[in-house]
Each structure stands twice: as C-alpha cells, then as structure tokens.
Amino acid sequence: MDVIVGGGVVGLSVAWRLAREGRPVTVVDPAPASGASHAAAGMLAPVSEVTYTEAPLLRLGVAALRRWPAFASALAEDAALPPAGPEEVGGLDLRAEGTLDVAFGADDMAALDELAAFMEKLDLPVERLTGRECRRLEPMLAPSVRGGLLAPGDAWVNPRRVTAALLAALERRGVNVVRARVSELVRTDGAVTGVRLAEPPAVPDEGRGSAPLAATGGRAGGEVLAAGRVVLAAGAWSGELAEVPVRPVKGQIMRLRSPQPLLTRCVRGTVHGSPVYLVPRGDGELVVGATQEELGYDTRVTAGGLYELLRDARELVPGVTELEVADVVAGLRPGTPDNLPVIGPGRTPGLTYATGHHRGGVLMAPLTAAILMGEESELAALCSPGRFQEIS
Amino acid sequence: MDVIVGGGVVGLSVAWRLAREGRPVTVVDPAPASGASHAAAGMLAPVSEVTYTEAPLLRLGVAALRRWPAFASALAEDAALPPAGPEEVGGLDLRAEGTLDVAFGADDMAALDELAAFMEKLDLPVERLTGRECRRLEPMLAPSVRGGLLAPGDAWVNPRRVTAALLAALERRGVNVVRARVSELVRTDGAVTGVRLAEPPAVPDEGRGSAPLAATGGRAGGEVLAAGRVVLAAGAWSGELAEVPVRPVKGQIMRLRSPQPLLTRCVRGTVHGSPVYLVPRGDGELVVGATQEELGYDTRVTAGGLYELLRDARELVPGVTELEVADVVAGLRPGTPDNLPVIGPGRTPGLTYATGHHRGGVLMAPLTAAILMGEESELAALCSPGRFQEIS
C-alpha cells in the first residue's frame, strides 16, 4: 500500500495515477484541495513563467505542459465530467490561447527583448509585439502598454475544478481519502513504514491557515497507517514531517466576476517592480495574482496584499475597476532553494518526495506523477532529492 | 396597530420606542438589519460630518448625538445585554473619544480653517491642531499629515450591535417582526390603511442587493396587514412604495482586523479628493469607509471601490497595510435632494415617513423616534415631508 501524505493537486494526481495502474493507494489530508491548490491561478505557462537564468525549470515546465491535454482528457473521462466544448476540456476549463507578457517602461522592454532572445535560442515559439499589436489582441489593455511578448503555446486551467475532478475520480476507483493530519512518519530500522495520524486538535490548528480543523474521519487519533511506501506531497508543510528544504511562500490572490470576458488570454506584466497576472476563466471569472511574501505560515488576507493586487491589475487593465470582487484567498507555495521541485526517493527507504513545486504545482502535477512512475528519467535527475545534502 | 415598513436601525428604533410606550406595533422586513445599517460605520459625528453650508443638518446632528447616551443605556437594559466597561455602553461599543479630521495639502488646511471658524461661531467645541499635535494624539498617522481639527465631542457606535440589541429588545417585548417584503401600501378612500405582503419571489430579488431572499415567514404572499398608521422606514427603497424623493447612494466599506488598536479615535481626511474615515472598534476591528456612488440599486463590492478605500486608508495611516481584511460589504444610503431626512406625516392620512437619512441613519435613529413621538417640534419642522412638492 502506498500512502500519499497531502491531498493537493500533486498528491491527488500521484494517487490517481497509481490507482489507474491498479496499485493500492490511500491519501491522507485533513482538508483535501484546500491549500495552495485552492489559491492557485492555474497558469500552465512554462514559457512566460521563467526568467532567462532558469533553463532547467523551463525544460521541466515545457515537458509538464505537454502532458496536460492527455491528462485532462483522461481525468475528465475518469471523473465522469459532463462533456464540454473544444476549448474547455471536460469542464476543467483547460484553455491554450497563450500568455501575453506586457511591458510599460524601457527597463521592462529590455527585459522582454532578453527573454525573447533566450526563448528563440531554445527554439521556443514566442512573438515580440508592439504596444499597438498587444492592444489589437487584447483591447482592454492600458494605453500605456509599450510592447509585449506572446507565448502562444502557454495554457491555463481551473485548479479548483481539477482537484474536484481528481477527488471524484479517486472516489469512483474506490481510493480511500483519510481526512486526518499526519503527525509523524513512522520509522522501523531506519526505514519509513507508515504514518501516524494526529489526535484531533483541541483548539484551531493555526499552522494550517485556511484549512478547516483537522478531522480524523472517524479514526482514533494516534492510529498508524502502515505503508509499503510513503509519498510526501504535503506542499509547504513537507518540512514538518521530513528533512526537506521547503519553505512557505505566501501568495494572495483575488477572483473578480465579469459579465463579459475582459480578456481572451492570460496577461502578465511588471508594475511598480512587482509581477502581476490576470487569468480569464470560461465562466467570466478573472483571477488576479499574486503576491509573493516570505512570512512563514501566515495565510491572512491583508489590506496591503489586496491593495497591491488591485493597484497593479488596474495599471494593466483599467477596466477591472468595474468588476465585482468574488473571492480573495491566501495560500502557501512550497518554495525550494533552487526553485525546482523535489521528486523521487531520498536516502531513507520507504520515503518518496513529491513536493517543492513552488509556483508550478498545477503545471507539474501530471509530470510529477509520470516521474514517479519512472517515465522521465532525464527530467527526474533535475528534481532528484539527492541534490540537497540535508535531505533524509 | 402601527406597521413599520423597514427593519433597519431607524425602523427598529421607532418600533422599540413605540413598544416602550405600550403601543401595538409590527415591523415588516424580509431581512431585518441587513441593509444600510449592516454596512454603516456608526460614526456619531455631527461636527466633523458637515460642511459649513449645512447648518440645519448640523443642528439636527448635534441634537441627535445628545440623545445617544440615554438611548444606548436604555437599549442595553431593555435588550438585557451583559454589562460592559464605562467606555462601551452595554456592549454596543458606544465610544466618545472624538473625531480627528486631518489635512495633507494647503487646500485641505484652508478647508479645515473655514470649518473651524464656522464651528466656533456656533459655539461648538473644536480644536485646531498642528501635524505634530495630530501625531501626538494618534501616533500611527502618516508623517505627511500637516494639521487637523479635533471634534472632541463626536462619538461612534457599532451599528450591528445596535440593530441586534433592538431586535432582542423587541422580541422581549413581544413585538412581531414579519420577515416579508411589502409589495404595496393599501389605500382606502385616499388613506393608507395597511400594507400588502409580496408573494415570495420565484427568482432572486436583484434589487435588494445583499439582503437575502424575501421570505414571508409562513404568511401567504399577497396577505394584507391592516394598520392604523404605516411608518415608511424602508431606507433607499422607500421611493418604491410612496412618492418620496429618496435615491440610493451606494457605499462600500471594509473591516480590518488589528491585533493591537491602531487608533484611539475616529480619523478622517480627504485623500485624492475623496473623503475617507477610519473607525476603531473595541474588539480591534478597524472600519474603513466609504465610497459614495450613484449607481442605482447596485450593491456589488467592486475592485475599484476596494482599491480606493485601501489607497486612501494607507495614505492616512500607513500601518493598515499589515492588517487582515475581515469583511467588505456595500450598502445603499437613502439620499434626499437637500441631505436632510424626511420625518413625519405627509399629505396622505395614515402614512408617516421616517426615511432619507443618507449618511446619518445610525446617528439620527433615536432622534427620529423622538420626533415621531412629538418631542422635538422645532427640529421636526426641518425634516417635514411637506417641504417636498412631490410627496404624497
């Protein structure tokens, strides 16, 4: 039996893949799909996401994006989602109209030029646009936009629909999702052999942020689940269970409601030195993200975070001021020292990592599952836990 | 039997006053205490609220504020609220540390000078302060504050606690609060003789904004409640039931949560040409208000509204950026052509008005009840419905 610790998009994707191969698997999470996956915008944007110093991340991202269409189709079928239009694979709102990265000042323009040159060297399709061309593609863009870079292959998806579909598919396959918190990994003779479930907390569990109170789903606290293998997919909380250099990177994100779509593709830009992006959903929602804050396990929505998002979104697309605010949440990304995820077995027998995805958890969830199935040995080397001395 | 149409702070205060006099009374509202009273900040600030062109409004406000301490004490007792400290009368969070109106630029400073001169002519206690003196009173104020005007007698209260206490007091006195919408006033021989309750709507009632779906509380739609007198206290919706020149003035307001109080008194100022105020509550909440928008019956919280509040609050008190956002709502104030409320009987027998309080509903609720009891004939003349030709 494999036990997956963490029911976010990564843990659920790994569990689903294992279940499809007929492998016995259990997921443990006090509140599945409520952490970083719930806050994520769902950009599948390897090309526009990287800076030109991050070639390994770009390679991973491009490979990860390639897996998404088949992953989404199979998931929609397995979750028995109602069929949707060609632009929205199986109700997951998977769309691939590309990302438009825009520039306002001379510095931004120079950065886009450098990025374009880097992409072209790697044979990645990008298109350098003038301000006028940008506004022809996206008429709601601010008049002050001077130029842009279009990554036509970039895509995006609705992460809340993805995790809901994964949970539905797991249920249809009879996979047990234990709604409990793991208090520790159980070790026998130096090997991990299971997980111990936490006693139900007497007071609210501050550390879990927006997650509801841990519930043990009828199981007694302290109970041990035996496992042939434990897969640690606990995102920003992974470091609490094993020695892995993952830290929480807080992101605040806002959902606006638009009667007519303001944009047809993802738009991003750097405003007042901070990056902002706008992601349009099929249902008229417009996601504005995201702050990046290093504040430990803090998931409060703050006046300052909201202010930055609103200020920068207005600068990019002034028309957002008229939109209704539907939702504001904060989540914690699992950051690593080199911005690459940690995937695969470490030095401890019985323990496998699937964490540290930082801003790329949604994008890389299908690839992560594939790496754990042994399908991508070359990419697996980039994510190997062994690159960190401290890993157990 | 008096029937009060509208269960906001004004309608509930009138009903409570009538009930205390032993008069039979019924309140009708689909969702009591959920409209403008729910969104209000609760400033009882007649001095800092007016401009020097509004002497009648100032007279009303000063008289209204004078009634608050006795009103709050009686209400706390009648609602059987637990006793509270001297600064918080009976759990209503009534406080009287004054309002500090601050200025940034030369224009603001000149406006404060004019206001101070006007107040002194009326023998109202105000104090002109330098920027340094302002920051001595409120150390969290922005360094760019150049001066201020302290209205030491101004007070504030928590309106949500006031309406909750009024509902509790009415229940203790056995007053019937019918949770239904009034579809029309029933007229017999030119006189109003009752109200007709609306059929439960088949679809959400867009016009009522944040109010829940109208529910008839077990009564059949279309039923008529006979009334010796109907008191129209339906706020921004009053014009839908009778000819009274009341229009909705939208306000968006935000509640922040502060571990330590940032301010000890109400602070207001004009930032980028729009007025903003900060109201500290006893429980650490800090209310930031409020937009003023003329958009009809629109109660959406918008990106632009939130942006303005956050931008202006930061300008006044930079430390707000660190605070958690607890709540954002929008309400509709009942505005009138001369900014004065409409209180008393009109030309139609059986119909009395208690509406049009615009930004002053909480402040003037006790005074409004007193005027309807015939206690303030001089002030009643200022609010007379007869001043409007169109009133029915």
My answer on whether A260 and A364 are in the same domain is no
Q: Which residues of B touch A255 (CB under 8 A)?
A: none
Residue with tokens 């202006």: B312
Residue with tokens 């998404």: A68
Supply B158's token pair.
């928590």
Distance, CA of A161 to CA of A12 (rounded, Å): 13
My answer on whether A330 and A345 are in the same domain is no
Selected residue of A250, A287, A311, A321 to mutate for chain B interface (largest B Cβ count, 10 A): A321
Supply A210's token pair.
């927006």
Residue with more model confidence, A57 or A90: A57
My answer on whether A240 and A341 are in the same domain is yes
Is pLDDT at A90 greater than 50 in this prediction?
A: yes
Where is the domain boundary, A310, A335, A360?
A: A335
- For residue A75, tell me if it sits in a domain: no
Phi-psi region of B213 (alpha: psi -120 to 50; beta: other; left: phi over 0): beta
Contact A300 B328 (CB under 8 A): no
- For residue B9, tell me if it sits in a domain: yes
Distance, CA of B256 to CA of B96 (rounded, Å): 21
Distance, CA of A194 to CA of A48 (rounded, Å): 40
Where is the domain boundary, B296, B312, B335?
A: B335
My answer on whether B220 and B277 are in the same domain is no
- For residue A79, tell me if it sits in a domain: no
Closest Cβ–Cβ partner in B303, B304, B310 for A303: B310
- For residue B75, tell me if it sits in a domain: no
Q: Which residue of B has its CA nearest to A257?
A: B302
CATH code at B214? 3.50.50.60
Q: Which residue of B has its CA nearest to A312?
A: B307
Per-residue model confidence (pLDDT) at position A122: 84
Where is the domain boundary, A335, A350, A373?
A: A335
Q: Helices (DSSP H) in chain B: which residue ranges?
A: 9-20, 36-39, 46-49, 55-78, 106-121, 131-137, 159-172, 303-316, 361-372, 377-382
Q: What's the structural domain count of chain A?
A: 2
Per-residue model confidence (pLDDT) at position A209: 41
Selected residue of B252, B257, B310, B322 to mutate for chain A interface (largest A Cβ count, 10 A): B310
How many Cα neighbours within 13 Å face the side chain of A336? Answer: 28
My answer on whether B110 and B256 are in the same domain is yes
Contact B324 A311 (CB under 8 A): no
- Please tell me if residue B272 touches chain A, with a CB cutoff of 8 Å: no
My answer on whether B142 and B290 are in the same domain is yes
Q: Is residue B158 within 8 Å of B315, Cβ to Cβ?
A: no
Is pLDDT at A200 greater than 70 in this prediction?
A: no
Per-residue model confidence (pLDDT) at position A207: 44
Distance, CA of B8 to CA of A136 (rounded, Å): 50
Q: Which residue of A has its CA nearest to B299?
A: A324
Closest Cβ–Cβ partner in B304, B314, B321 for A322: B304
Q: Which residues of B touch A325 (CB under 8 A)?
A: 301-303, 306, 328
Q: Is residue B333 within 8 Å of B345, Cβ to Cβ?
A: no
Supply B309's token pair.
């509040």
My answer on whether A300 and A353 are in the same domain is no
Q: Which residues of B touch A250 (CB under 8 A)?
A: none
Q: Helices (DSSP H) in A176-291: which residue ranges?
A: none
Distance, C-alpha B189 to centroid of its chain: 35
- Please tell me if residue B84 touches chain A, with a CB cutoff of 8 Å: no
My answer on whether B209 and B316 are in the same domain is no
Residue segments in chain B with a per-residue pLDDT below the cut of 70: 50-53, 84-90, 200-221
Distance, CA of B262 to CA of A248 (rounded, Å): 28
- For residue B74, tell me if it sits in a domain: no
Who contacts B88 (Cβ-Cβ below 8 Å, separation ≥6)?
B94, B95, B282
- For residue B72, tell me if it sits in a domain: no
Measure B146 CA to nearest chain A CA, in Å: 24
Per residue in B283-338, pLDDT tens?
889 999 999 999 999 999 999 999 999 999 999 999 999 999 999 999 999 999 99
CATH code at A287? 3.30.9.10
Per-residue model confidence (pLDDT) at position A89: 57
CA distances A124 to A129, A382, A385, B374, Å, are 16, 20, 28, 81
Q: Torsion angle, CA of A36/A40/A45/A49, rounded to 10 degrees?
A: -70
Percent of chain A topping pLDDT 70: 91
Contact A302 B314 (CB under 8 A): no
Hey, what amino acid is at B75?
L
- Please tell me if residue B140 touches chain A, with a CB cutoff of 8 Å: no
Per-residue model confidence (pLDDT) at position A214: 40
Measure A210 CA to nearest chain B CA, in Å: 13
How many Cα neighbours within 13 Å face the side chain of A144? Answer: 13
Residue with tokens 């008289």: B63
Which residues between 207 and 246 in chain A have a beta carbon less than 8 angstroms from any beta carbon of chain B?
none
Measure B342 CA to nearest chain A CA, in Å: 32
Using only C-alpha atoms, what is the Rg of chain A? 21
As to burial, measured by CB atoms within 10 angstroms (0-12 exposed, 13-18 middle, 19+ buried), residue B9 is buried
Cis ω before B106 (30° cut-off from 0): no
Per-residue model confidence (pLDDT) at position A372: 98
Supply A344's token pair.
């695969």
Q: Torsion angle, CA of B256/B260/B266/B271, rounded to 10 degrees?
A: -60
Q: Give the DSSP letter of residue A201.
A: P
Contact A321 B307 (CB under 8 A): yes
Per-residue model confidence (pLDDT) at position A121: 86
Distance, CA of A351 to CA of A192 (rounded, Å): 6
- For residue A49, tell me if it sits in a domain: no
Measure B359 CA to nearest chain A CA, in Å: 23
Angle formed at CA A223 by CA A222 and CA A228, multiple of 5 degrees: 125
Who contacts A335 (Cβ-Cβ below 8 Å, separation ≥6)?
A236, A246, A247, A248, A249, A356, A358
- For residue A90, tell me if it sits in a domain: no
As to burial, measured by CB atoms within 10 angstroms (0-12 exposed, 13-18 middle, 19+ buried), residue B283 is exposed
Per residue in B217-241, pLDDT tens?
445 568 999 999 999 999 999 999 9
Q: Which residues of A touch B321 (CB under 8 A)?
A: 302-304, 307
Closest Cβ–Cβ partner in A303, A323, A325 for B321: A303
Distance, CA of A155 to CA of A374 (rounded, Å): 26
Instruction: List the one residue out of A76, A83, A99 whose CA is nearest residue A268.
Output: A99
Provide, for chain B, the percentages of residues in helix, strand and coil under a 3-state DSSP scheme, each rounded to the nearest 5. Answer: 35, 25, 40
Hey, what amino acid is at B367?
L
Q: What is the pTM of this model?
A: 0.88
Q: Is residue B29 within 8 Å of B7, Cβ to Cβ?
A: yes
Phi-psi region of B138 (alpha: psi -120 to 50; beta: other; left: phi over 0): beta
- Please tell me if residue B206 touches chain A, with a CB cutoff of 8 Å: no
Q: Give the DSSP letter of residue B389.
A: T
CA distances B284 to B154, B260, B324, Å, are 20, 6, 11
Q: Is residue A59 within 8 Å of A382, Cβ to Cβ?
A: yes
Instruction: List the one residue out of B199, B198, B119 whose CA is nearest residue B151.
Output: B119
- Please tell me if residue A324 touches chain B, with a CB cutoff of 8 Å: yes
Cβ pairs bridging A and B (under 8 Å): 64
My answer on whether A201 and A310 are in the same domain is no
Q: Is residue B43 within 8 Å of B153, Cβ to Cβ?
A: no
Angle formed at CA B178 by CA B184 and CA B350, multiple of 5 degrees: 45
Per-residue model confidence (pLDDT) at position B199: 78
Measure B303 CA to nearest chain A CA, in Å: 5
Hey, what amino acid is at A289?
G
Q: Which residues of A touch B315 (CB under 8 A)?
A: none
Closest Cβ–Cβ partner in B302, B310, B322 for A306: B310
Expressed as residue numbers, the domain containing A182 is 2-40+160-246+337-387
Instruction: List the one residue out of B318, B290, B271, B349 whose CA is nearest residue B141.
Output: B318
Distance, CA of A232 to CA of A354 (rounded, Å): 6
Closest Cβ–Cβ partner in A300, A304, A310 for B303: A310
> Cβ of A257: how many Cβ atoms within 10 Å?
18
Kindly indicate the confidence band of residue A79, based on its pLDDT and cuts at 50, 70 and 90. very high
The ipTM (two decimal places) reads 0.85
Supply B236's token pair.
């921004």
Closest Cβ–Cβ partner in A256, A310, A321 for B310: A310
Kindly indicate the confidence band of residue A211, based on its pLDDT and cuts at 50, 70 and 90. very low
Three-state SS for B255?
strand
Hey, what amino acid is at B169?
A
My answer on whether A148 and A253 are in the same domain is yes
Helix (H) or strand (E) holding A191: strand A191-197
Span A285-301, average pLDDT: 94
Beta bridge partners of A150: A100, A127
Instruction: List the one residue out of A165, A134, A228, A226 whose CA is nearest residue A13.
Output: A165
Q: Give the DSSP letter of residue B356.
A: -
Three-state SS for A328?
strand
Residue with tokens 């000149």: B110
Q: Is residue B230 within 8 Å of B297, Cβ to Cβ?
A: no
Q: What would the DSSP string read from start to end of A112-125?
A: HHHHHHHHHHTT--
My answer on whether A195 and A327 are in the same domain is no
Instruction: List the one residue out of A222, A218, A227, A160 whose CA is nearest residue A3.
Output: A227
My answer on whether B274 and B212 are in the same domain is no
